[in-house]
Amino acid sequence: MPTAVPIADHHRPEDLRHGAWRERDGGVSARLIGIANALDGLGRGQAARLAGLASETLQRWIARRTSEGVDGLHDRPRCGRPCGPSEGQQASLLKSLDPSSKRRDRGPHGVIHVRKRLSKKPARGDA
C-alpha cells in the first residue's frame, strides 16, 4: 500500500479541485488536482498519474505550493531570446528610419513599411 505524501496545507482537497475548475491555465489546474489527490491520501505516483504528471514533478509542485501558495503553481518566465524589441529599441529604430530620406522603399523591408508596422504593433516587454 503506497504511503500518502506529507503536505502542510490547511485547504481541503475539494477546495483545491474547485480552484482547478476556475483556473484558466491548464497546467495550474493539473497541479492543483494532483495536490488534491495527494491530500486525499493517494500515494505520490497514483496522485500524479491521475493528474497527468510525473511523481517527482508533483513532489516539486507540492513544495512550491507550500512555500509560495497557489501563485507558485504558475509557470515562471523563461530565459532566452526576448519576444520582440523593447519600447526603447522601437523608439530608436523609428528615429533612425526617417521617412523623409531619399530611400523611401515601399517594399516589405522599406522605410515606410517598417514604420507602419512598428507604429501599429504594441511593444512587448522582455520576458
pLDDT for position 126:
43
Residue 57 CB-density burial (10 A; 0-12 exposed, 13-18 middle, 19+ buried): middle
pLDDT score for 3: 53
Please name the residue ranges forming H helices in the chain. Answer: 13-22, 26-39, 44-51, 55-68, 87-96, 111-120
Q: What is the Cα–Cα distance from 118 to 127, expressed in whole angstroms?
A: 19
- Distance (Å, rounded) from C-alpha 61 to C-alpha 57? 6
The per-residue pLDDT for 4 is 52
Per-residue pLDDT of the chain (127 residues), as tens digits, is: 555 556 666 778 888 888 888 888 888 899 999 999 998 889 889 999 999 999 999 999 988 888 888 888 888 887 887 777 788 887 777 777 666 655 556 566 676 777 777 777 555 554 4
Task: Enter the C-alpha cell of residue 29.
Answer: 489546474
Q: Where are the domains of the chain?
A: 13-73, 87-120
Closest listed residue to residue 7, CA positions, set 69, 68, 66, 74: 66
User: What's the pTM value of the predicted model, to 2 decimals?
Assistant: 0.56
Q: Which amino acid is at 56?
A: E
Contact 16, 59 (CB under 8 A): no
pLDDT score for 124: 57
